[in-house]
Amino acid sequence: MTLHREGYATIILASLVLSIMQWGNFLLWQLTGWLWLFLLLTLGILVLAYLIVQFFRIPKRSFTFGPNDVLCPADGKVVVIEEVEETEFFKDKRIQVSIFMSPLNVHANYFPISGKVTFARYHKGLFLVAWHPKSSTDNERSTFVVEHSSGQSVLFRQIAGAVARRICYYAQEGQQATTGEEFGFIKFGSRVDVFLPLGTQLNVKIGEDVKGKLTTLAVLK
């Protein structure tokens, strides 16, 4: 396991703040003599430090996939599977699969398929909770479309939530995407939507916990 580069500055800042908090905790113990409070606050500070570091963890994963497999672009739970009108790029009906990423999930995002990136857009927006029905269209978000060698295209979208306030992405229009290659990162809770062609074989269900690069989301027909 390694730490994601997006976390370096956050971890350094958090370490400074937590160190100051622990110093204050020590001084409080010296003034009051309350060892139980010192130990309790120390435990809380250690838990906070652990949660911040683990948020930016990047586990090593070996994965295999078929030529038409659509891999999960993120860790999390499947919260939406429905046929919708996709209005930003395709402007037709697609199968939407939404994955909610809690603060405890790995937050790196991966290309679900290989092909050419034909569309890449970032949009400023609101910070509704990630499971809100309008978060897909109203929240801060970035949208990407990859055209597969089969001629079919898949759209996927990073969505900031009420806590996530920064979307990081590295995919650029015109580049060649590779299945399982990292294309972005979202800080502190978020959601990823995937829009698939009608008739695509789905391999997941509502409420299922999925893993980025490891779970096959669907198979293109």
Q: Among all residues, which ones are annotated catalytic?
A: 190
Q: How many CA atoms lie less than 13 Å away from 80 in the CB half-sphere?
A: 24
Beta pairing class for 153-160 and 190-196? antiparallel
Q: What is the residue type of 13?
A: L
Q: In the structure, how many helices (H) and strands (E) does the chain have? A: 3, 16
Q: Report whether 115 contacts 146 (CB < 8 A).
A: yes
Q: Helices in the chain by DSSP H: which ranges?
A: 8-32, 35-55, 135-138
CA–CA separation, 21 and 45 (whole Å): 8
Cβ neighbours of residue 7 closer than 8 Å, sequence gap 6 or more: 53, 55, 56
CA–CA separation, 111 and 124 (whole Å): 22
